[in-house]
Structure 1
Amino acid sequence: MHHVGMTVTDLAAAVAFFEALGMELEGKAHMEGEFVDGVVGLDGSRSDIAMMKTPDDRYRIEFSQFQTPRSIDGGSRAPINALGLRHVAFVVDDLDDTLARLEPHGAELVRNVETYEDMLRTCYVRGPEGVLVELCQYFS
């Protein structure tokens, strides 16, 4: 897998949120033209994208903010049991610190931080556009 794509209405907010999670901005670009229309299947599309990567350079998330046609809400606040791509997960060193860093960027804890056996602490937060982000802190 190279990357996962997410459509957002506020590109800067999405970048800031995922930078707070430790991801790095790899690059930004403006996308439009016949080539883009042919790939995405939308005539006259114009968007700005930001590609972010994990510090180990293994995984990426591409964020797209469309100017035309305008983005539509495809059920961004759907619960975890809805069909389709539902969440991205990150392993973090300190769950409490990560939650504190994400709070100024609008992270909403879905319910609780829970401990699973003697293995990990985990929770879901809502990020930009309501995307579900799972945070996992494994015990040594």
Structure 2
Amino acid sequence: MAKNKLLRMDNMGIVVESLDNAIAFFTEIGLELQWRGNIEGEWAGKVTGLGNQNVEVAMMVTPDGHSKLEISRFIAPAVIEDHRAAPVNALGYLRAMFTVEDIDELVARLISKGANLVGEIVNYENVYKLCYLRSADGLLVGLAEELGKK
């Protein structure tokens, strides 16, 4: 019997408190809103195991069209846990990493909109500048700038 092969990673999902704030944050990073709408009913709950659910969803895509981020705000059932304040060494830790052209400019712009650096911007072996930051709503992202590619 032939082994099934992976074709691609479709998207990464994140649950948020405010879909509007998350869309604004990821738009500021450079993603584009591809689709926004509600997904509801028992069929959706059969996928997630949550039963009859109602979720407002936004699909965001990177400029190259290869990576997508599915942002979800649960209307029903209610959110039961909040992991946004968990440290980066917590089990189940979740962040998305984005490569950007000018990390210093983007970090300054995001901080002006309420984001906070988790640590600091570091130079990794003159290959990348890297940092983690949290949006005003506590969403954790990583940013990377490839050095020597300008």
2:68 pairs with one of 60, 82, 92:
60
For 1:12-23, list aligned pairs within 5 A. Answer: 12-23=20-31
Provide the TM-score with structure 1 as the length reference: 0.92
Structure 1, unpaired ranges of 5+: none
Deviation at 1:77, TM superposition (A): 1.5
Range moving further from structure 2, 26-35 or 6-15: 26-35
* Aligned-partner Cα distance in 2 for 1:128–1:27: 23
Q: Which moved more, 1:21-30 or 1:74-83?
A: 74-83
Q: Which runs of 4+ in 1 moved over 3 A?
A: none
Q: Match of 2:53? A: 45
Tell me the secondary structure at the aligned position of residue 130 of structure 1: coil
Larger Rg: 2
TM-score by length of structure 2 reads 0.86
The aligned length equals 140
Distance (whole Å) between structure 2 residues aligned to residue 118 and residue 43 of structure 1:
50
Say what the alpha-carbon RMSD is for the aligned residues: 1.5
- Equivalent pairs: percent with the same residue? 39
- Cα distance in 1, alignment partners of residues 111 and 136 from structure 2: 12
Whole-angstrom distance in 1 between the partners of 2:18 and 2:134: 15
Shift of 1:43: 2.4
Q: 1:81-100 maps to which residues of 2 (within 5 A)?
A: 81-100=89-108
| Alignment correspondent of 1:8 | 16
Measure, in 2, the Cα distance between the counterparts of 1:14 and 1:108.
15
1:77: which partner in 2?
85
Q: 1:71 to 1:50 in 2, by over 3 A?
A: same
Residue 19 to residue 5, structure 1, CA distance change in 2 (3 Å) = same
What SS does the aligned partner of 1:71 have?
coil
How far did residue 78 of structure 1 move? 1.1
8 Å Cα contact 2:13/2:69 also seen in 1: yes
Aligned to 2:127: 119
Which segments of 5 or more consecutive residues in structure 2 lack a partner in the other structure? 1-8
**1:85/1:27 Cα in 2 relative to 1: closer, same or farther (>3 Å)?**
same
Matched, 1:30 2:57: no
Deviates more, 1:125-134 or 1:61-70: 125-134
Quick one: distance in 1 between partners of 2:112 and 2:54?
Answer: 30
